[in-house]
Structure 1
Amino acid sequence: MKFIEGGVTAAQGFTAAGIFCGIRKNKTKPDLAMIYAKTPCAAAAVYTQNLVKGAPLRVTQKNLSDGKAQAVLCNSGNANTCNADGEEKAWKMCEIAAKALNIRPQDVIVASTGVIGQVLPIEPIENAAPALAKALSRDGSESAARAIMTTDTKVKNLSVEVFVGGKPVRIGGIAKGSGMIHPNMATMLCFLTTDASILPEVLNKALHEAVNVSFNMVSVDGDTSTNDMVSIMASGLAGNETIPADSQEYNAFTEALTALCTVLAREVAGDGEGATKLLISHVTGAKSPEDARLAAKGVICSSLFKAAMFGADANWGRVLCAIGYSGAQTDIQAVDVSFASDAGKIEVCRNGAGVDFDEGLAKKILTCSEINTEITLHDGDSEATAFGCDLTYDYVKINGDYRT
């Protein structure tokens, strides 16, 4: 497996584009993205677990009930959530895309991101759709990635290549996510493509496995969004034999998909609203995978821990505190904690108690842009990794006037 350029258009059969249509007030930012497959695809998706689900998610769930899709249409600047005409507008977006691409509206994955509770103007989307379809190209992944960004500061556009059954298979993705990001959902918008030949039910299984250890292990601020979704379309043009479930080919494909999703998840975490540091919580020695996940996420979700990391304060007590209320079954008096970065590594806790350490070195380690918190539970052989970011003054500034 290797990472390659191309994003969602790296896989055979896909084109993409992003343009400004007029939903955003800022005309310098594109706000409408499209991904198109020249043939109908196997498709699957994972959705937010928030009870308040955006209208586009409900429409997409219906459209994907047959396991097929051929296009994605996504706007930024308006989430189309909690509106009386939300589903009507989401379905209208499907019809708009279908008309522009000459496909069925039922084969469109529709998504929206931005402010909640404001009516989505459909006219800008309808007016821009023909130009957007005309702009589709094999080089359009980055423009589509920019068009789905909200408060993101970095484009998230990536792809991988892996051999499956002796054939090169490509998987690409674009993602957005900066605030209102929390585990146990898709945590953001992410659109994936692949040219693998794979059945919808097998693709769905692989996607859930990948999401569980990548996007579901991210937390920026503890808020579970209403519009978050990860979707994938498979064109089947790679020429591989159709991937069977629970096979060597399935394992190779899922490993590559997971690797791609993990890097995108890291990028989402590191680009959290106002963030200055990517935080990684790696738990080893847990009784079970679930205990490892609970402990890792407990630490990464702690506002006190995140604030300490912003201040480069080696306050390891906040790590133990978070593990204690995370729900993980562990002997807290056997826990070891170390902080590590490009500046070095320092042990701060052994057997649940503090050890003497150099505060100056700790400060130097925690001043770096990527910080690893390494936690050993000494209860078993399970491990998990969670991703997050520090909590800064700018997070409050961004969300204090996000709507206005």
Structure 2
Amino acid sequence: MAVNLHIPSQSDIHPVAGIEIGTAQAGIRKAGRKDLTVFRLAEGTSVAGVFTTNRFRAAPVQVCERHLAAGQGIRALVVNTGNANAGTGEPGMLAARQTCDALATLLGIRPEQVLPFSTGVILEPLPVDRITAALPAAVGDLQPGNWFDAAYGIMTTDTQPKIASQRITLGEHTVTITGISKGAGMIRPNMATMLGFLATDAGIAPGLLETLTREIAGRSFNRITVDGDTSTNDSFIIMASGASGVHVQNRDDPHFATLAQALGEAALELAQKIVRDAEGATKFITVQVDEAASSQEALKVAYAIAHSPLVKTAFYASDPNLGRILCAVGYAGIADLDVSGMRMWLGDTLVASNGGRDPGYTEEDGQRIMKESEITVRIALGRGSVSETVYTCDFSHEYVSINADYRS
């Protein structure tokens, strides 16, 4: 069951002018579910993306990168679930291109203006014939209000749809920001096994949007981890249609800071919802590292804690076996760490200081906090002024069951 994951009501999901969405059943892996999603973008929409760093990048990721680099103006996205089209060699590349060709023909655009996305089982051929056969139904379903259907349509082992939507005021204009994401396992930064699609009706200059997308991903989707596995298909896309009348050309624009902050907040909400709905998760855990000498150093410590199976299983059991956290800090890779200057808090309780257990800490305090569904671990390294935060979850029996039975 997802951990305190808020699903907004239909009335709170705001359509984005210039963006239409359609879904259909292609029968890619399971019959009777919508597993194909199409986005149609108004002409002039700026699009930027961040993708996995896994060297086994899936065919659709490679095609997306090439089509974005071509600079032809992206007009459509196509997303399938049930099959990742990864580890499929040249036939997989051909299948991804055939999908783009088919959708381009239906929409009257060029194949280079289509971005394909796939998620699901790796090392299996993409059933491209089923996808192309279902594309007319998805195109026929195109409408601005289909965000909920799309959120369900891109799910794999997710148990809940992940949607964020808000409206902000920029000068005399109302600007809409709406997005969806998917992901529950094989989640680790750079990026995690996830798809994220964020849209706004503000206009953002293409070069600025590319930089902003990388920055936003760095503070959101690249700050989550479930199991430490970096996927082959991770993709995060921001689309800016400009239909609101607001057009931001550079960082000096008076609307840039407010718009960037709102987009970042939406992306962080979507990223955190992935962790809240992680496979088998029962607890949402925030790991905050303060007083580090650098961002790299802070993240080393945060991920050492967040990736530790011993730490994660202790959280699942509500067992304040907090020496496991200190152990992870110790092997994080900071060779000159002076542990006597480090402090650790569990929730609001100081657990460790001066190189050992704090005199004021009690086992009862630890047990009380460990039973909560949302827990914060804070480490102060005493080495500088840099802080970084990572979001993770516990490991449960269900995580093993889900992944053992994934292809069944």
Same fold at TM > 0.5 = yes
Is residue 312 from structure 1 mapped to residue 318 from structure 2 by the alignment? yes
The answer to which of 127-136 and 96-105 deviates more is 96-105
* Partner in structure 2 of residue 227 of structure 1: 233
* Partner in structure 2 of residue 355 of structure 1: 358
* Partner in structure 2 of residue 394 of structure 1: 398
- Counterpart of 1:31 (choices 24, 28, 35) is 35
* Partner in structure 2 of residue 334 of structure 1: 341
Is residue 325 from structure 1 mapped to residue 328 from structure 2 by the alignment? no
Q: Which runs of 5+ in 1 are unaligned?
A: none
TM-score, normalising length: structure 2: 0.92
Residues 60-97 of structure 1, C-alpha deviations (whole Å, 9 max, x = no match) = 11111144312111000000011131011111111122
Contact 1:316 1:337 (8 Å CA) reproduced: no
- Counterpart of 1:141 (choices 143, 147, 169) is 147
Residues 12-51 of structure 1, C-alpha deviations (whole Å, 9 max, x = no match) = 1112132321112242x32111122232421111010100
The answer to which of 51-60 and 168-177 deviates more is 168-177
Is residue 279 from structure 1 mapped to residue 285 from structure 2 by the alignment? yes
Shift in alpha-carbon separation, 1:8–1:324, aligned structure 2, 3 A? farther
Corresponding letter in the other structure for 1:353: G
SS at match of 1:219: coil
SS at match of 2:203: coil
Is residue 86 from structure 1 mapped to residue 92 from structure 2 by the alignment? yes
Shift in alpha-carbon separation, 1:240–1:59, aligned structure 2, 3 A? same
Q: Which runs of 5+ in 2 are unaligned?
A: 1-7
Aligned residues: 397
Is residue 76 from structure 1 mapped to residue 81 from structure 2 by the alignment? yes
Contact 2:188 2:222 (8 Å CA) reproduced: yes
Is residue 162 from structure 1 mapped to residue 168 from structure 2 by the alignment? yes
Is residue 244 from structure 1 mapped to residue 250 from structure 2 by the alignment? yes
Percent of paired sites with the same residue = 38
Counterpart Cα distance in 1 of 2:247 and 2:138: 34
Q: CA deviation at 1:181?
A: 0.6
Q: CA deviation at 1:4?
A: 10
* Partner in structure 2 of residue 374 of structure 1: 378
Is residue 150 from structure 1 mapped to residue 153 from structure 2 by the alignment? no
Counterpart Cα distance in 2 of 1:167 and 1:291: 42
Q: CA deviation at 1:323?
A: 2.1
Counterpart Cα distance in 1 of 2:247 and 2:60: 33
Counterpart Cα distance in 2 of 1:117 and 1:146: 24
Corresponding letter in the other structure for 1:150: T
Shift in alpha-carbon separation, 1:70–1:351, aligned structure 2, 3 A? farther
Corresponding letter in the other structure for 1:76: T
SS at match of 2:191: coil
Contact 1:19 1:143 (8 Å CA) reproduced: no
Q: CA deviation at 1:186?
A: 5.1
Shift in alpha-carbon separation, 1:187–1:402, aligned structure 2, 3 A? closer
Contact 2:185 2:193 (8 Å CA) reproduced: no
Counterpart Cα distance in 1 of 2:62 and 2:267: 23
Shift in alpha-carbon separation, 1:217–1:118, aligned structure 2, 3 A? same
* Partner in structure 1 of residue 25 of structure 2: 20
Contact 2:173 2:245 (8 Å CA) reproduced: yes
Shift in alpha-carbon separation, 1:123–1:101, aligned structure 2, 3 A? same
Shift in alpha-carbon separation, 1:376–1:187, aligned structure 2, 3 A? farther
CA RMSD of aligned residues (A): 2.1
Is residue 48 from structure 1 mapped to residue 52 from structure 2 by the alignment? yes
Residues 288-332 of structure 1, C-alpha deviations (whole Å, 9 max, x = no match) = 222222222221111111111111112222222222232357432
The answer to which of 237-246 and 14-23 deviates more is 237-246
Counterpart Cα distance in 2 of 1:275 and 1:51: 28
Contact 2:45 2:203 (8 Å CA) reproduced: no
- Counterpart of 1:98 (choices 94, 99, 104) is 104
Contact 1:164 1:249 (8 Å CA) reproduced: yes
Q: CA deviation at 1:136?
A: 1.6
* Partner in structure 2 of residue 383 of structure 1: 387
- Counterpart of 1:108 (choices 102, 114, 122) is 114
Counterpart Cα distance in 2 of 1:91 and 1:332: 54
Shift in alpha-carbon separation, 1:19–1:7, aligned structure 2, 3 A? farther
Q: CA deviation at 1:112?
A: 0.3
Is residue 270 from structure 1 mapped to residue 273 from structure 2 by the alignment? no
Corresponding letter in the other structure for 2:66: K
Corresponding letter in the other structure for 1:11: V
Shift in alpha-carbon separation, 1:8–1:132, aligned structure 2, 3 A? farther
Contact 1:4 1:160 (8 Å CA) reproduced: no
Is residue 120 from structure 1 mapped to residue 120 from structure 2 by the alignment? no
SS at match of 2:20: strand
Contact 1:287 1:330 (8 Å CA) reproduced: no
* Partner in structure 1 of residue 3 of structure 2: none
Contact 1:277 1:370 (8 Å CA) reproduced: yes
